[in-house]
Structure 1
Amino acid sequence: MTTLVEFMIITGADNRPPMLEKSLYDSWKSHMELYIENRENRKMILNFVQNVSLVWPTVVEEDGTTRTKRYEELSVAEKLQADCDLKATNIVLQGLPPDVYAIVNHHKVSKAIWDRVKLLMQGTKLSLQEKECKLYDEFDKFSFVKGETLYQYYWRFAQLINNMNVINMSMRLVQVNTKFLDSLPPEWSKFVTDVKLARDLHTTNYDQLYSYLEQHEVHANETRLMRERYQDPLAFVANYNQSPS
């Protein structure tokens, strides 16, 4: 049979496929599918990755023996299928770190590689349940990290919610929004109260809440600095008494 090396199709790489991070398999899978959607012959390539294992055509010789067709013997339609599967194989392999690549690169068709990576990364249903428990725990314990900006806080929260969405974990919108607001530090309390009064947390989303709060970050920082400076009432009085009249 024709080897992968012999007929490897190098995809026109104006960019590279997403690289697999082992703890974020579901996110990588979703990203990889979107990457393939942007390729030429995307439907056929994605079909070979997800659903159909390419079977290389054969031909019967005059003596009755059957052999695998050489690439140049394929029909136009067969060549397109072979090219698309090889493109799919190349895309998936380029997205794997060296240790995972070494385990799966002996497979000759893209679906076999895709399924093998899924088995290695996702494991059993139990491991998926454990992942859900881990993410629920992270959501429960999510809090503001001292010194980070509102954007950094929003970015971490967005990553967590995305990881939950990727594996179809169900969370009520009001629960997500409330967690986003209530995990902010005290200097945000006035603005959190204002946005809770102004927005319906059952219909809005945390992106919109972030956009509103971002407008008030300067004031929140000023409040934080004042609290840090005068957290000791005696220090506040001493500072006041030393101020020039």
Structure 2
Amino acid sequence: MGDLNAFVTHPSTLLHNLNLENEIGTSNKPPKLLKMEDYPSWAGKFETHVQAENYDTRIVVEEEYTTPKNENGTSYRLSENPEADKAIFLREKKMLNLFQQAIKAENFQLLHHNGSCYSIWQSLLNKDKGNPNMIKSKMALLKKEIYIFTMGKGESFSQLIAIYCHLVNEMKRLGFDKQEFEYIDKLADALPDEWETFIMI
């Protein structure tokens, strides 16, 4: 009854807390991927959650899990598995459970995978990047944004850095990487002329 009264008297607070819980997760629940376009920001939060709460499960998205087989080529029963194989099996199931909690059902259905956590993760990566034409289009737009990137009138330094970091991360995500000095030069070029002395120092 108390929760109902709280919702009636403070619905915006409860809604805010629910949105925050969906975005960053809790110790019991991973952050939720509600829309595929949110993948870039969600992926980092999801990985942080896994590393903090279920560190060993991270391994199963790095290489494909295959069911152990005996010398006849048939799958072992779980009770027959060596302890090391049982541990890998449990990690696979834990990560699968996290994916099912984190990814909205209709988004999960859009992923092309074979059921393994590795293939689910790869499908998420591919879904985020899009098809070759979409990647080409994103790359062209990103190059244009980088080219015209500069500090806007009334824009703070922290705002500039936030935009810059976003652009750099997008470049790296799409495989359009530059050398370190090129990143530095681009940031320096974006700063106002009166900062030139500080840049030289």
TM-score range, shorter chain: 0.5 to 0.7
Matches within 5 A, 1:62-141: 71-104=78-111, 108-141=115-148
> Residue 21 of structure 1 contacts residue 28 of structure 1 at CA under 8 Å; is this kept in 2?
no
Please give the per-residue CA displacement for 1:15-44, whole angstroms capped at 9, x wherever unaligned.
7357486446567556655654556563xx
Can you give the 5+ residue segments of structure 1 that lack an aligned partner in the other structure?
A: 1-11, 61-65, 199-245
> Residue 36 of structure 2 contacts residue 128 of structure 2 at CA under 8 Å; is this kept in 1?
yes
Matches of 2:44 and 2:148, distance apart in 1: 26
What amino acid is aligned across from residue 88 of structure 1 in structure 2? M
What amino acid is aligned across from residue 129 of structure 1 in structure 2? K
Per the alignment, residue 176 of structure 2 pairs with: 169
TM-score, normalized by length of structure 1? 0.53
Q: How many residues align?
A: 176
Per the alignment, residue 64 of structure 2 pairs with: 52
Please give the per-residue CA displacement for 1:47-66, whole angstroms capped at 9, x wherever unaligned.
43232233265799xxxxx9
> Residue 35 of structure 2 contacts residue 107 of structure 2 at CA under 8 Å; is this kept in 1?
no
Matches of 2:50 and 2:138, distance apart in 1: 26
1:193 counterpart (182, 193, 196) = 196
- Over alpha carbons, which structure has the higher Rg? 1
Distance of aligned partners of 1:33 and 1:168 in 2 relative to their CA distance in 1, 3 Å threshold: farther
Identical aligned residues as a percent: 18
Please give the per-residue CA displacement for 1:198-238, whole angstroms capped at 9, x wherever unaligned.
1xxxxxxxxxxxxxxxxxxxxxxxxxxxxxxxxxxxxxxxx
Greater share of residues in helix: 2
What amino acid is aligned across from residue 140 of structure 1 in structure 2? Y
Please give the per-residue CA displacement for 1:168-194, whole angstroms capped at 9, x wherever unaligned.
42334444334324434xxxx464121
> Residue 48 of structure 1 contacts residue 85 of structure 1 at CA under 8 Å; is this kept in 2?
yes
Matches of 1:21 and 1:137, distance apart in 2: 26
Matches of 2:113 and 2:136, distance apart in 1: 31
Distance of aligned partners of 1:170 and 1:149 in 2 relative to their CA distance in 1, 3 Å threshold: same
Stretch deviating more after TM superposition (89-98 or 15-24): 15-24
Per the alignment, residue 13 of structure 1 pairs with: 27
What amino acid is aligned across from residue 103 of structure 2 in structure 1? L
Tell me the CA shift for residue 85 of structure 1. 0.7
Can you give the 5+ residue segments of structure 2 that lack an aligned partner in the other structure?
A: 1-25
